[in-house]
Amino acid sequence: MKKNILISFMTLIVSATAFAESGYIKNSAQMVLHYNVPVTLIGTVDMVRSRHPNPYFRGEKQPAILLDTPVTVKRDIDDETTVTERNVRLIQTMTGGNPKLHDLLLRNIGRKIKINCTDLFHEMTGHHSTKVLCLIKSISFEK
């Protein structure tokens, strides 16, 4: 009898943990986002300085978004370049080689913004200055 209760209790804990990690519920009051899928971010335009090892690129200004609320970005089991990152507050934004969008963001540091990302991806090169990055699809500034 005690053995059956213990097994039932352990099954319940495993099921609850799997459900919590699935992204269908908030994790410790944090929204769970995923790599490689479209996502909308809300926050404030910010800027990070490049940490690139090459002095030519080091210190370069890069647009970013400071999120209103920290998030967890869960690894994609089908993409070995991703890692689960918790308490993510600052995300570097990639403008897809659009210098006008890059400059627009840097001119509007401190403004509230909504960014629709094609996807989120994990840092991979020296040009990436935050753990999680967003490839911008569209933006809108709050008035």
Q: How far is CA 73 from CA 62, 89, 120, 137, in A?
A: 21, 11, 9, 19
Assigned domain for 55 exists: yes
What is the number of other CB atoms lying within 10 angstroms of the CB of residue 47?
17
Assigned domain for 8 exists: no
Q: What are phi and psi of 116, to 5 degrees?
A: -95, 120
Alpha helices per DSSP H over the chain: 2-21, 99-107
Assigned domain for 13 exists: no
Residue 57 DSSP symbol? T
Assigned domain for 73 exists: yes
Assigned domain for 20 exists: no
Assigned domain for 5 exists: no
Assigned domain for 54 exists: yes
Question: Do 76 and 34 form a contact (C-beta atoms < 8 A)?
Answer: yes
Report the number of distinct structural domains present in the chain: 1
Assigned domain for 2 exists: no
Q: pTM to 2 decimals?
A: 0.77
Residue 46: which of 110, 95, 102, 131 has the closest Cα? 110
Residue 30 DSSP symbol? B
CATH number, domain of 127, equals 2.40.50
Tens-of-pLDDT digits for all 143 residues of the chain?
A: 555 544 444 444 434 444 444 444 444 568 999 999 999 999 999 999 888 888 888 888 899 999 999 999 999 999 999 999 999 999 999 999 999 999 999 999 999 999 999 999 998 877 888 999 999 999 999 97
What is the number of other CB atoms lying within 10 angstroms of the CB of residue 79?
12
Domain that holds residue 60: 26-141
